A and B are shown apart, each in its own frame.
Chain A
């Protein structure tokens, strides 16, 4: 590798990281819009179903936002070791956050409609798969 290429490599890596971070944030915005749509549709069934759908969406979005911010927000993680450490630490944080939020929801919110809560949660997982694969299928 020539000297000018070696100097440009970290900047190119940082640009790539920023681009993918913005791509994931765009996916989360689309998913937030999807939560509002599902919640509005559930409002036809009742108020409990509507706020359960909102809670299901929040239970998906909050841990995943934390995961993305923690795993991709760190622009200085360029070596394989630091990337792996930041990914594993973010995954543990995401799991702990999800467990705490699920526990708090089931303990504090009564009445709750489990079908609309888990329906929205699973719908968002599926939409997340599809949007991520579609957005990054070029391998960029």
Chain B
């Protein structure tokens, strides 16, 4: 039973680390692009939004599976 909690914690924690690294790099690149060409901010905003959706899709699935293990399997 304890292993299920460890599995859920790993799924949630590793997903969070991956999303944090990806979104941090993305935000840094957005600021670089906006500093170079401020007139492109609206275009960069749309691209930022799309890539943010791509980056956090897999962690969201991991969060869902982790909570399923936590509440439905172990609970």
Residues of A within 8 A of B60 (CB): 63, 95, 98, 125
Contact B64 A88 (CB under 8 A): no
Query: Which A residues are in CB contact (< 8 Å) with B18?
Result: none
Q: Answer yes or no: B6 CB below 8 A from chain A CBs.
A: no
Of chain B, the residue at the smallest CB distance from A16 is B42
The size of the chain A interface, using a CB distance under 8 A, is 44
Q: Give the number of chain B interface residues (Cβ < 8 Å).
A: 34
Apart from the given pairs A77-B45, A122-B61, A133-B50, 13 other A-B contacts in the complex at a CB distance below 8 Å: A17-B45, A20-B49, A71-B49, A78-B41, A78-B42, A80-B35, A84-B30, A84-B31, A102-B67, A118-B61, A121-B64, A129-B54, A132-B53
Query: B residues near A, CB below 8 A?
Result: 23, 27, 30-31, 34-35, 38-39, 41-50, 52-54, 56-57, 60-61, 63-65, 67-68, 70-72, 75
